[in-house]
Amino acid sequence: MVLSIPSDSLVIANQIELLGGPNGVASVNPLCPGAVYRLMPGYDLSTPQPTTDYVGSLILDGERPFGRRASNRQITLTVKITAPTFTILAAAREILFDAVDEQSWPLIWTRATGTDPSSYPLVLECFRAHPSIVKWGGADTFNLRPVGLVTLSFDALPYGRSDEQLQLALASPLIGGTTPTAPVTLDGFSSVSGSNWVSSSQHVVGPASARFDPGIAPLSNDKGGTVPATYTAAISGAPVNLAGLTGISVWAGFGGDFWNHWHEGPAVFSYTLTDSGGHKLSFSITRHIVSSNNDDIPYWQLVTAQIPQDNAVFLYNSVSSYSITVSNYSVCGHGPVVQYANVYLDALTSVPQTAAQPAAIRGAVYQLLGVVGTARTPIGLQVQQASSSTPVSQVLTGSGTWIPPAGVTAVKVECVGGGGAGATETTTGIGGGGGGGEYAAEPAYVTTPGLGIAYACGAGGTPGGTGSQTVSFLIGGTASWTAPVGVTSAKVECTGAGGGGCIFSGGGGGGEYAAEATLVLTAGKTYTFTVGKGGKGSTGSGGTAGGTTTFPGDAVTVTARGGGVSTDGGWTAPGGSGRSPA
């Protein structure tokens, strides 16, 4: 029978495994195939190094240290390298040195999961290594076998982290972000029951709070010191849904008449939640607490504990009751107790990761509540301009996609259809206007920030034709005419002027007629034409022929010549000849 025993893992720079089982893990790197790196006894992952300042007393002896900073860890690892050949051994050493020579690199320690597959790796942010100590030859030190020892030393940031970043849900998220789950009040303490618990008008949220007073019956001991402050109650409206809520917050007040005995220090808040199936979920938090010097007027502070999220049997969506225990001392023979103080509880609430409150001037103040972790850590922020509280109007034309800005969940939409086209003007400047487009509006059109909305704006109508119109030019001479909008052809008829007659003979010849049924024109173009003048008569000779009438098109000019003149002794006169088109 073969037993599979889970093993821890310690990986340098995401590439070199130092644990991984009794025999280690053979490298698959082509530069050092088969080499095995092993962590040797005597390693030291170190701890955060507190940085403390000291204030010396001006009169009395001694100094008082203070400070909350921590300097880097100083880590030491002894690594044994075994390889098939000395060449591979040398390559494995260089790969190790190259990995730890980076400006920064991770050291990842993962505990053997066993029955707890949810264990998070511990990631230490490490920096370029100090000079290393190298020893070859293995235990016999005669350099007969490809075995070596390398002792590494390097700095690392004081606190480790998990390998997963925590993204916080905020009340005003970026486009595409999510908002936190609404908090659930577990107890507003409008009614209070329990041994040594009474209702109090002192509160932060209110309207009341629960007060643990060891000075009343049955304890009847102002100093306390025999039991912790334990409060158990069913949740109003139970069961309640706490899914998506990662913490429990309570406003905790402390006040005591024995201020000289205790007025600040660590206090433990222990919780037990019970679901509708009877399953229990227990957790706790320790916080530094400050007390007032008056039993009846407590000093308040908000205390938040993380709710474990990995319990496979607990019904987070059906929680029916709770229990909270507070202690600030551990007394021999009694265990955790409350001593030298009264304890107040106000507004017990299950909360999401963040809560927002309006700021005094503008914006919001966010509280980070149910955030996983115990040490200070960097936080990355990405922000964008807040939407204006003043309504903003935007006019859209054509077609496209409009994207609602962040925070915009409804807009007033007004639409106007394209107007109809007016009639084309006649040659005398007359033409009717087109009809207006329809107006429609939605006062609260629902939108989703960041989700595009396609739109299309209708275009105005196009003018149509004007029908047939006749324009006549009867006065001889040269003039001009502009083709109206939309006119691209016309029927043109031209008549030449008659010739002059003679007093002793017949009349002059008649002018010629010429026409083009569809003369090509350009709308808006001006055409210069000539109307022929009639011929001049005479008493014998000296008369004149009639004038020629012409009208030019884009490709053809319509021409009608005038009639001939009558002469003395002749009874006929020639008519015009040579019309165009023939």
Lowest mean pLDDT among 211-225, 281-295, 347-361: 347-361
Q: What is the mean pLDDT of residues 221-238?
A: 91
Question: 241, 352 in Cβ contact below 8 A?
Answer: no
What is the phi/psi pair of residue 100, to 5°?
Answer: -90, 0
Strand bridging mode 264-275 / 319-327: antiparallel
Lowest mean pLDDT among 66-70, 299-303, 453-457: 66-70
pLDDT given at position 357: 78
Q: What letter would DSSP give residue 139?
A: G
Helix (H) / strand (E) element for 64: namely strand 63-66
Quick one: pLDDT band at residue 3, thresholds 50, 70, 90? very low
3-state per-residue secondary structure call for 344-361: EEEEEEEECCEEEEECCC
Quick one: pLDDT band at residue 173, thresholds 50, 70, 90? confident
Closest CA to 236 of 191, 171, 200: 191
pLDDT given at position 162: 84
pLDDT given at position 366: 83
CA pair distance 33, 83, nearest whole angstrom: 8
Compute the mean pLDDT over every residue in the chain, rounded to the nearest whole number. Answer: 86
**pLDDT higher than threshold 70 for residue 145:** yes
pLDDT given at position 465: 56
| Per-residue tokens: 160 | 């480790």
CA pair distance 281, 36, nearest whole angstrom: 44
Q: What is the DSSP string of 497-564?
A: PPPP-BTTS-PPPPPPEEEEEEEE--TT-EEEEEEPPPPPPBSSS---PPPPEEEE-SS-EEEEPPPP
Highest mean pLDDT among 130-139, 178-187, 249-258, 565-574: 249-258
Q: What is the DSSP string of 191-253?
A: S--STTEEEES--SS-S-EEEE-TTSTTT--TTB-SS-EEEEEEPTTSSB--TT--EEEEEEE
**pLDDT higher than threshold 50 for residue 1:** no
**pLDDT higher than threshold 60 for residue 475:** yes
Q: What letter would DSSP give residue 72?
A: -
**Domain residue limits, the chain:** 9-52+69-156, 184-357, 477-560
pLDDT given at position 131: 94
Assign 492 to helix, strand or coil: strand
Q: What letter would DSSP give residue 167?
A: P
Q: What letter would DSSP give residue 44?
A: B
The tens digit of pLDDT for each residue in 60-86 reads 788 888 888 889 999 999 999 999 999
pLDDT given at position 582: 63
Q: What is the DSSP string of 402-432?
A: E-PPTT--EEEEEEEPPPPPPPPP-TTS--P
Look up tokens 């329990």; give the residue.
194
**pLDDT higher than threshold 70 for residue 405:** yes
Question: 353, 246 in Cβ contact below 8 A?
Answer: yes
pLDDT given at position 55: 78
B/e letters for 369-379, b = 16+ CB within 10 Å, e = fewer, are: bbbeeeeeeee
Q: How many CB atoms lie within 10 A of CB 110?
A: 18
pLDDT given at position 21: 80
Categorise residue 86: left if φ over 0, alpha if ψ from -120 to 50, beta otherwise: alpha
Angle at 233 (CA atoms; ends 229, 237), nearest 5 degrees: 150
The tens digit of pLDDT for each residue in 90-101 reads 999 999 999 999
Q: How many CA atoms lie within 13 A of 418 on its CB side?
A: 12
Closest CA to 287 of 265, 262, 306: 265
CA pair distance 19, 7, nearest whole angstrom: 7
The tens digit of pLDDT for each residue in 259-269 reads 899 999 999 99
Question: 326, 215 in Cβ contact below 8 A?
Answer: no
Quick one: pLDDT band at residue 406, thresholds 50, 70, 90? confident
Quick one: pLDDT band at residue 372, thresholds 50, 70, 90? confident
What single letter denotes the amino acid at residue 137?
Answer: G
**pLDDT higher than threshold 70 for residue 545:** yes
Q: Determine if the pTM surpasses 0.75.
A: no
- Bridge partners, residue 181, by sequence: none
CA pair distance 417, 421, nearest whole angstrom: 13
Assign 447 to helix, strand or coil: coil
Expressed in percent and rounded to 5, the helix, strand and coil fractions of the chain are 5, 40, 60
Q: What is the CATH number of domain 9-52+69-156?
A: 3.30.2000
Assign 451 to helix, strand or coil: coil
**pLDDT higher than threshold 90 for residue 53:** no
Pick the CATH number of 184-357 from 1.10.10, 2.60.120, 2.40.30, 1.10.3210: 2.60.120
